[in-house]
Structures are given as C-alpha cells and as structure tokens.
Structure 1
Amino acid sequence: MNFLEHPQRISVVGTSGSGKTTLAKQISQRLTIPHIELDYLHWQPNWVEVPNDVMREKVSQALSGNAWVVDGNYSMVRDIVWGKADTVVWLDYSLSVVISRVVLRTFQRVVKQQEVCNGNRETWKTTFSRESIILWALQTYHKNRRQYALLLKKPEYAHLNIVHLRSPASAQNWLSLIPTYYE
C-alpha cells in the first residue's frame, strides 16, 4: 500500500455495497476534513436523477475546498473528482463480501425505513425489482473491477496515490495507520 505524507483530497471507490460511504466517513473523522457523498448530489427526492451538467457543477462546487473525502462511482464526474484528488482508495473486495454487505444493508434499510439520501428510501418493491441495488451490485461487480484496474493505470491519473484494499480487514488496518502516517 502506498501512503502520501499528507493526503488532502481523497476519493473512495468500489462496487455498490463495498462500504465506500462508511470508510469515507471514518477517513473524514480521522483527518477532520469534509465528507461528500456523490449520491446526495446525484439523487433528488423520489429517486429523480439530476441532469449531467447539473451534477458536474454540483461536484465542482463541492470539491472546491483544499481538503475533502468523497465517495461514489459516477463516471460522469470522474474526471473532476480524480483530477482534483491526490489519493484514490479502491475497495476491491470479493463478490461474496460485497453481496453479503449489500443484502444486509438493503434489508436493514427496508425494515427500518432508513433514508438513503434526500428523502429517498429503499422498499420491498424495489428490492425485488429490476431497480434492485442487490441486482445492480451483481451486474456491475466484474465490470467495475476490470474498469478500475484499467482506469487507475491511465496517464491522466498518474498523479494519484492508489490505495488498493482487498478486504475489510485491510481497510481497517489502513485506516488505523492514518494518524501515524498523516499527522
């Protein structure tokens, strides 16, 4: 794992359900920097997506500061996020870990009627439909892994420090090292 002496702008990526938001919140707390969830910028109430140009403007504004941690996989803003980032943390967990996490999280959200973002909630109906986040995670898992492996080798992202984490244990280990390496 590579470490920067003082990361200021961190992007956390990974397949749906891998734990991006949870890890980003933990990084935010440890480094006392703002946490930005791309889902909040992308989804309006009633699961209405903002237009791409609006999303790009919202992301540019949200990332205008000198220090932040952002989570999300929106390709329409990757050039903005990664262009400004100094570090990408890639949660590259096994399919069994991802699916078990997304299933548990989805059922907890439905049963407890937890808000996902901007008043939006997952329901039993969506859980067992073509819009299911569980189905989405299954359909995109292998594609995302291949895509990130290729993207992170591109010359336009050579400035990024890549932290490639392959298990929740390695993520927690890396997180525990942040104060040692980043103070």
Structure 2
Amino acid sequence: MRRILIVGSSGAGKSTLARAVARRLDLPLIHLDRHYWRPGWIPADDAAFHAKIAALAAGERWVMDGNYGSTLDLRLPRADLLVLVDLPWPLCLARVVRRRWDRRAADRPDLPAGCPERLDLGFLHYIWRYPGRSRPRVFAAVAAHAPDLPVVRLRTRRQVRRWLDTLPSR
C-alpha cells in the first residue's frame, strides 16, 4: 500500500488514524483541511483547490485524510486502499464536543493556523446526517470512479485499533 485514502464523519478519528498509518508505513501525510481552509475559516477557491488535490493525488506515496466529496473522483482512482472510519454518529458528536473543549487554547495539527476549533449547528447537523447522506455518496463515488478499490470499513474503536495493529510498524 502506497496511497491510502481515509474518509469518515467529523469526529470519527480520520486525522488521528491518518497520522498513525503514515507513521507506521513511513508515508507522507496529507490533511486536506490544511489545503482547503485559510486563516479565519476562509475556504479555498474551488478551481485552485481541485488543482491542488489533483497534484497531491498524483504523488506516488501518501496517506490522505478528508472527505471533500467533490474531489473523490480525483483521489479514488489513485488510491490503493480506502479506509472508511464509520463510527456511530453519537460517538462522533461527543468526540467533536470533547475536542472543542480540549483544544480551546491550541490549534489542531490537521488545520492551518488561524482556524481554531469551532462548533456550530451546521457542523453538528453534518455529523448527525453523515450516515444517511455522506456515507452513501462515498460508496457511490467508489462505484463510479474506482469499483475495484479495496475498502476497509471500520465501525468501532476496537476495529480501528485492530486494523491499525495489522499494519507493520517501523
């Protein structure tokens, strides 16, 4: 495995898992949030973001975390493996609330400087709706753009730990 794409709901642990996978497999780590957001939560220009993602996906080796459904067509065909971190939405919601509290005075390592952790109703609504809205879009994108791509779907914290333990460590 040289190119691993990690997707899932906010709060599911994508970035944490991506860091662990990149470390174990000695692969470059790409957090898509760092390429999309500008300080003050200003989104990137769509055309520039798509061009950046296309260039990043063209790399020979990476672990890439982030959803950004509009770029799955660029990333899925290049990936060797898709990991869907598919934990229950109440757990994801609790993790996001806890993360907001824990990071109230510090920036998250997977976000650019100037984008402090935040909570708003739209974000919480996204997490609540992820299983019924976004997850099916991921599977549809796989079927459309990379039907032979292996998919690992991790539904519990235990499954995440066990899958990570199957990877070689340096």
Same fold by TM (over 0.5)? yes
SS at match of 1:46: coil
Q: Residues 16-72 of structure 1, C-alpha deviation per residue, up to 9 Å, x if partnerless?
A: 110000001100000000010000110011111111110111112223321101000
Higher CA-based Rg: 1
2:151 paired with 1:159: no
CA 1:46–1:11: 2 relative to 1, 3 Å: same
The correspondence of residues 60-75 of structure 1 with structure 2, limited to 5 A, is 60-75=54-69
**1:94 Cα offset (Å):** 1.2
Q: Is the 8 A contact 1:86 1:159 kept in 2?
A: no
SS at match of 1:89: strand
2:46 paired with 1:52: yes
Structure 2: unaligned runs, 5 residues or longer: none
Aligned partners of 1:87, 1:30: CA distance in 2, in Å?
Answer: 15
Q: Please tell me the residue identity of whatever aligns with 1:136.
A: Y
Q: Is the 8 A contact 1:86 1:161 kept in 2?
A: yes
Aligned partners of 2:88, 2:130: CA distance in 1, in Å?
Answer: 13
Poorly superposed stretches of 4+, deviation over 4 Å = none
Per the alignment, residue 126 of structure 2 pairs with 136
Report the aligned-residue RMSD: 2.0
> What's the TM-score once normalised by structure 1's chain length?
0.83
Aligned residues: 168
Q: Is the 8 A contact 1:24 1:69 kept in 2?
A: yes
CA 1:73–1:168: 2 relative to 1, 3 Å: same
The correspondence of residues 9-48 of structure 1 with structure 2, limited to 5 A, is 9-48=3-42
> What's the TM-score once normalised by structure 2's chain length?
0.89
**1:155 Cα offset (Å):** 4.7
SS at match of 1:73: coil
Aligned partners of 1:146, 1:177: CA distance in 2, in Å?
Answer: 27
